């Protein structure tokens, strides 16, 4: 059984109140992303959580469509945008696999950029997700990610993570290295435009570009 939706629903309220662990790095990622945004861009965010990042980027783009696996996370996100009177963000309750599966036809919408922040280590099939995002982007489109590459420093997690997921006190967590992640981007056809890691063991921030 996949306990991940139940896990994120259970922790949603505490997650929304929890301060950012590394505020300086988060702000740098926001600023770097913002340098690539344009007023006419339409963005897709995978795994948007409580919508904080989408809200921050919303003044700089035309529209953001944000999806998440947790209905309770999305309820918090919806309340935020209503309170702030933001009208260019839409939310959808969906897994990444479901969304991709429903949007792979030749007439499916193409995006100027896709965001997946703290997401790719939480999916079972990162290779397929990355390859699918490539197809969903317009030529020259960007895939912005920040990913915990636990295989570089916490290999023991390979033993702990499946146990935690089985008992429902951890979400699915996949273990891989930064090089393995970058290899997936390259295999999908992406060119890495920006690469940054604030320190050893920290999440790898990538901005990858589709040819065109």
- Helical H runs in the chain? 4-17, 23-34, 52-57, 71-83, 96-102, 126-136, 157-167, 178-188
Residue 159: what pLDDT? 47
Pairing of strands 204-209, 137-147: antiparallel
Residue 54: what pLDDT? 98
Percent of the chain with pLDDT over 90: 71
pLDDT in tens, 19-72: 888 999 999 999 999 999 999 999 999 999 999 999 999 999 999 999 999 999
Single pTM value for the model? 0.89
pLDDT in tens, 68-115: 999 999 999 999 999 999 999 999 999 999 999 988 766 678 999 999
Is there a contact between 190 and 209 (Cβ–Cβ < 8 Å)? yes
| Statement: residue 119 has pLDDT above 60 | yes
Binned at pLDDT 50, 70 and 90, residue 165 comes out as very low
Is there a contact between 54 and 114 (Cβ–Cβ < 8 Å)? no
Q: Which CATH superfamily is domain 4-209 in?
A: Vaccinia Virus protein VP39 (3.40.50.150)
For tokens 């604030």, the residue is: 198
Give domain limits for the chain: 4-209
């Amino acid at each position: 059984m996949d306990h991940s939706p139940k896990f994120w629903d259970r922790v949603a309220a505490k997650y929304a109140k929890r301060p950012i662990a590394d505020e300086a790095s988060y702000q740098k990622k926001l600023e770097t992303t913002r340098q690539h945004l344009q007023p006419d861009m339409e963005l897709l965010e995978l795994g948007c959580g409580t919508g904080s990042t989408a809200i921050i980027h919303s003044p700089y783009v035309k529209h953001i469509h944000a999806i998440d696996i947790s209905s309770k996370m999305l309820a918090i996100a919806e309340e935020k945008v209503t309170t702030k009177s933001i009208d260019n963000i839409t939310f959808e309750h969906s897994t990444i696999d479901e969304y991709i599966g429903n949007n792979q036809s030749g007439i499916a919408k193409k995006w100027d950029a896709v965001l997946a922040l703290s997401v790719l280590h939480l999916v079972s099939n990162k290779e397929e997700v990355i390859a699918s995002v490539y197809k969903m982007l317009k030529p020259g489109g960007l895939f912005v990610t920040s990913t915990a590459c636990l295989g570089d420093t916490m290999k023991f997690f390979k033993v702990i993570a499946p146990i935690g997921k089985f008992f429902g006190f951890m979400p699915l967590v996949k273990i891989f290295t930064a090089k393995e992640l970058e290899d997936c981007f390259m295999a999908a056809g992406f060119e890495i435009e920006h690469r940054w890691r604030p320190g050893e063991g920290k999440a790898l921030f990538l901005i990858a570009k589709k040819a065109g």
